[in-house]
Structure 1
Amino acid sequence: MRLFAAVLPPRAAVEELALLVDELRALPGADELRWTGRPGWHYTLAFMGEVDDALVPDLRERLGRAAHRTQPFPLRVHGGGQFGHRALWAGAAGGLDDMRLLAERAEAAARRAGVPMDDHRRYQAHLTLARARTDTDLRPFVTELERFKGLRWEVAELALVRSNLPTSGTAGEQPRYETVGSWPLGRAS
């Protein structure tokens, strides 16, 4: 199954960001972008790709340990940017050092469970909002995102998410995300 570790923003943060995204979708050129669906908004910590079912029990145990060794931390959706001319994203503010640590622990948990991981890259917290099929001028969208400062919330759990890729071939079909495990941060209750 195709898996990744993530921080999932709470409903209030998603609803607040959705109001801004509605404004972004009204800007000139917005119809050239493929906007991600709100149910799929997340901050990926460690992308694992296809994971052999036999590795999942050990992966779950190790992710649980990583979560328990990390204390809850504050976060909010804040600002945004672009990757090249193809991806538009919302950023984060608050406990970014804690989030990087949780990302490193999630990646290490996957490696130790035997999941082949890509080369390690410096973690950058981002929530993907839209993608372009061709090079697109995303600057007007980034300008609007840079002003955004969302509500503060406490990250209290690490989630393991399954990504179900579109299979129908229908234009605009989105991946479906399913939380297949979650662990509270800090000491187990």
Structure 2
Amino acid sequence: MSRLRLFVAVLPPAPAVEELRRAVAPLHALPGAGELRWTDVPGWHFTLAFLGAVDEELLPELKERLARAARRTEPFPLRIHGAGRFGGRALWAGAAGSIDLLRLLAERADAAARRTGIPMDGHRRYSPHLTLARSRHETDLRPCVEALGGFEGTAWEVGEMALVRSDLPVSGVPGEQPRYEVVAAWSLGH
């Protein structure tokens, strides 16, 4: 039986991604930025629930439950907003708009996975973020956070939730990124 590494996410539309890409580009020239592993622009997303390795046989039920969660959630406005860090290990862009609805969608995605029989990590408050860069060791990310902190992206309507497969790099080539593939997507509110 094969296992798929999966997560549920909101994928920002191309114009929002392009705005953020332009804002992030100058960060690559900041001191210490060369030590960071920058995430691939096409892979930028807001994770709602990380499911880990899931048995393929659970997919039909999981898809059904996620579809139900999407139908129960109305579309809502969101924009990429500001920046932050998790210690000295991860740099991220934040979100603004209907964060309560984004959190509700995350809770529903988590519940759908649990009800399907997927063991989920202990419950913690959902913190919407889009990972921009990671570091293998503690790095001073404050210059990046300060440079991007005032970023205000254009609002868009979140109208879809996606189930995404993540294939980790296997080549051992430095800087190789995970590959993401949308397995299924559901419109919100219907």
Give the TM-score range, shorter chain. Answer: over 0.9
1:146 counterpart letter in structure 2: G
- Distance (whole Å) between structure 2 residues aligned to residue 24 and residue 16 of structure 1: 14
1:91 counterpart letter in structure 2: G
Query: Is 1:144 the counterpart of 2:147 in the alignment?
Result: yes
After superposing on structure 2, the runs of 4+ consecutive aligned residues of structure 1 that deviate more than 6 Å are: none
Match of 2:188 in 1: 185
Farther off after superposition, 151-160 or 20-29: 20-29
3-state SS of 2:77 partner:
strand
- Distance (whole Å) between structure 2 residues aligned to residue 23 and residue 153 of structure 1: 24
Query: Is 1:49 the counterpart of 2:35 in the alignment?
Result: no
Residue of structure 2 aligned with 1:133, choices 132, 136, 149: 136
- Distance (whole Å) between structure 1 residues aligned to residue 81 and residue 157 of structure 2: 14
TM-score of the superposition, structure 1-length normalised? 0.98
- Distance (whole Å) between structure 1 residues aligned to residue 19 and residue 175 of structure 2: 24
Match of 1:20 in 2: 23
Match of 1:78 in 2: 81
2:69 counterpart letter in structure 1: A
- Distance (whole Å) between structure 2 residues aligned to residue 21 and residue 149 of structure 1: 12
- Distance (whole Å) between structure 2 residues aligned to residue 134 and residue 115 of structure 1: 31
Query: Is 1:91 the counterpart of 2:94 in the alignment?
Result: yes
Gaps spanning 5+ residues in structure 1: where? none
Match of 2:160 in 1: 157
Residue of structure 1 aligned with 2:171, choices 164, 168, 171: 168
- Distance (whole Å) between structure 2 residues aligned to residue 23 and residue 68 of structure 1: 40
Shift of 1:144: 1.4
- Distance (whole Å) between structure 2 residues aligned to residue 135 and residue 162 of structure 1: 29
Shift of 1:29: 1.3
- Distance (whole Å) between structure 2 residues aligned to residue 26 and residue 77 of structure 1: 22
Shift of 1:16: 0.5
- Distance (whole Å) between structure 1 residues aligned to residue 43 and residue 21 of structure 2: 12
Q: CA RMSD in A?
A: 0.5
Farther off after superposition, 27-36 or 64-73: 27-36
Query: Is 1:113 the counterpart of 2:136 in the alignment?
Result: no
Gaps spanning 5+ residues in structure 2: where? none
Aligned residues: 187
1:94 counterpart letter in structure 2: G
- Distance (whole Å) between structure 2 residues aligned to residue 42 and residue 127 of structure 1: 6
- Distance (whole Å) between structure 2 residues aligned to residue 134 and residue 123 of structure 1: 24
